[in-house]
Structure 1
């Protein structure tokens, strides 16, 4: 009998889709209410099958947005066209399996877990062998546990590397090998959003403004604080991206993020996120306890933002502005500097303006696509008309705070000729206005701070402001 005469049974997680439905549904459950984690632990005591069934009762997965493996889909369609029976067999809950089967309309039958049986490994092998007979079907799989099934199949379609193919070849005939590229260090670095670490350079601002840049111990403390804060931020980035999977998959650029695209396993994120946070906490041993307290506030506020605050109109941008300002507070705590009211006020208004730029830009892009509201946010497209003046006003207020600071008695303790800093206000007025003009034209394609670090005009503005401050000393 030719290979094509045997039913072709395909696995789901990691094979048909580049993800894991149990983890995805778990994340959606936790995102809805973090306290659901207590329920998950209780369900797990009764077994994995019971856990999957309980989650499936409460979570609806948009199956049309899952990261399907196109190479596998193409092969299944090719075999289906030859008249071959195509079967879905998965350890995921039957509710999700049937929804995927209905969406793809390619499967003749479905095997899946229910509230009593977890259809994985030996259980899957037993069910398929009972239905089709010993070595009377072909199986498409992607990991070591599938060797349990291949040991009793006629042939194997291996979705994975050559090592797995060699292992399967010792058990049955290899019908086809579909390579699956393993995530490399570049993929992991992309998930960490290392390019966003430049924002943590704000930690060094208190060291610069306190005029203690020549102190080696303080420079060391600033560098350690930068590393610790960056690791903590990446820990939250990983968690945020895992919680926002389905929103990101509908976004023009965020759909390319590793978790949303399925190029990085969710399990990697679940392990790396707390590991990075732990390393950040360990680094705090070299810093004052106040830095650890600020870091804890940052982490908790970011968690609140990821779970809830990002969906509240205006609360989200105020939270983003606060997170930027907390970076400056962290830098002050690391080097033992008392921050002035002026610096805190300046940073809060400036970063609020930049946070609004970010939302304003998103709304402009949605308007061009004829959409009416943001995904995972509370804004509507028409809100862009109000956000622009609010953001511009906040930016100009930050310049006013700078002007008042230059004219205040406090500045005389640090600068002998503070009046020489006045041109810095003009530079700031130009920069804020330019940022908003770029945003208004729809050309702000990055985080405003990341954009500023790449933008030559912005770099020149920073250098000019620094020059005026040095001259004023």
Structure 2
């Protein structure tokens, strides 16, 4: 029973739900920690979005089952490994879709957020069947998905987003997915296995240039965010100090993908890498502390 539950959690890629915490970003960055209604709505939106995201993972795994069987790590996914039948996977997928949209339509009762969720679902269906085969378009769609999470969080909490926050979310997501593509290119160069059709549109030189460029823009954008008038008024003039932890975190990510070749899963990297965990914790603590002490 426990083994079966674990297998289905792998099918749903429950560890990937960490990405959906971007829905809570508007609450964190606006310091609406005492707005219970906003937090509850964000929680429901998080659950509903996670269910829909998992349904897309199932569709993607079914579509790529033969490619995954050739991948050094993806071959252990339930569909590729044959530990869950395609029939049972599609039943689970249908239940996830129904449950996810039901939360948005009947619990949150937010039709704007529901429409945005439907757009995310359809966009990713197109991604699974065609768009992920097109270089640059593939990584852009993944990054847009993170921005959609951010907008859904804004809608259900009624919190207006900073333009800088939207830009930073898109760039950070783009950086992480480019790191994954770089790992795929490395596998292709070492084994000759083309694990995704878009790989032909990338090479190490191109990806390295894109990654370094985006890291540079992220650092600049974050510093500009911390010294923007709205942030200085709301969070204090010393918010720029938190840039230290952003820079350290980005450098550690570059070290992981360039030196240690750990770019296959940014989510697993965050969940396992002690340096990144401590760095993120220090960033959160410093962000909150500087904001709280601002009036003093």
2:107 corresponds in structure 1 to 286
What residue is the counterpart of 1:220 in the other structure?
Answer: 40
Shift of 1:468: 2.6
Does the 8 Å CA contact 1:363/1:381 hold for their aligned counterparts?
no
Unaligned runs of 5+ in 2: 292-296
Segments of 4+ moved more than 6 angstroms:
none
Tell me which of the two structures has the higher relative contact order, counting C-alpha pairs closer than 8 angstroms and 6 or more residues apart: 2
| Distance in structure 2 (CA, Å) of the matches to 1:399 and 1:309 | 29
Alpha-carbon distance change, 367 to 441 in structure 1, aligned in 2, over 3 angstroms: farther
The CA deviation at 1:433 is 1.9
Of the three residues 312, 324, 328, the one matched with 2:146 is 324
Residue in structure 1 matching 2:274, options 441, 456, 460: 456
Task: Tell me by how many angstroms 1:308 deviates.
Answer: 0.9
Cα distance in 1 for partners of 2:6, 2:29 equals 36
Gaps of at least 5 residues in structure 1 are: 1-180
1:377 shift after superposition:
2.2
1:342 counterpart = 2:164: yes
- 8 Å CA contact 1:361–1:442 kept in 2: the answer is no
2:290 matched residue in structure 1: 472
Contact 1:396 1:429 in 2 (8 A): no
Please report how far the alpha carbon of residue 267 of structure 1 lies from its aligned counterpart in structure 2 after TM superposition. 0.7
Structure exhibiting the larger radius of gyration computed from Cα positions:
1
Of the three residues 182, 191, 195, the one matched with 1:360 is 182
Instruction: Give yes or no for the alignment of 1:400 onto 2:220.
Output: yes
After TM superposition, the structure 1 stretch with the greater mean CA deviation from structure 2, 459-468 or 344-353, is 459-468
**Residue 88 (structure 2) aligned to one of 268, 271, 287:** 268
Q: Deviations over 1:229-256 (max 9, x none)?
A: 1101111111111111111111111112
1:441 equivalent in alignment to 2:263: no
Confirm whether residue 384 of structure 1 aligns to residue 196 of structure 2. Answer: no
**Higher relative strand content:** 1
Using the size of structure 2 for normalisation, the TM-score is: 0.91
Any idea what SS the aligned residue of 2:199 has?
A: coil
In the aligned structure 1, how far is the partner of 2:78 from the partner of 2:289?
47
Counterparts of 1:260 and 1:449, CA distance in 2: 20
**Partner Cα distance (1:381, 1:211) in 2:** 42
1: CA distance between counterparts of 2:202 and 2:264? 22
Superposed CA deviations along residues 16-56 of structure 1, whole A, max 9, x for unmatched, are: xxxxxxxxxxxxxxxxxxxxxxxxxxxxxxxxxxxxxxxxx
Partner-residue secondary structure (3-state), 2:197:
coil
Distance 1:448 1:358, change over 3 A: same
Give a deviation string over 1:268-292, Cα, whole Å, max 9, x none. Answer: 1222212211101111122232221
Q: 1:210–1:339: structure 2 CA closer, same or farther, 3 Å change rule?
A: same
- Alpha-carbon distance between aligned partners in 2 of 1:434 and 1:378, rounded to the nearest angstrom: 27
Deviation at 1:446, TM superposition (A): 4.3
Secondary structure at 1:188 match in 2:
helix
Match of 1:207 in 2: 27
Cα distance in structure 2, aligned partners of 1:450 and 1:261: 20
Q: CA RMSD in A?
A: 1.9
Q: Which residue of 2 aligns with 1:66?
A: none
Task: Give the deviation of 1:443 after TM superposition.
Answer: 3.1
**1:421-436 equivalences in 2 (<5 Å):** 421-436=239-254
* TM-score of the two chains, using structure 1 as the length reference: 0.58
Residue 131 of structure 2: aligned partner: 309
Correspondences of 1:170-209 after superposition (within 5 Å): 184-209=4-29
Shift of 1:448: 1.1
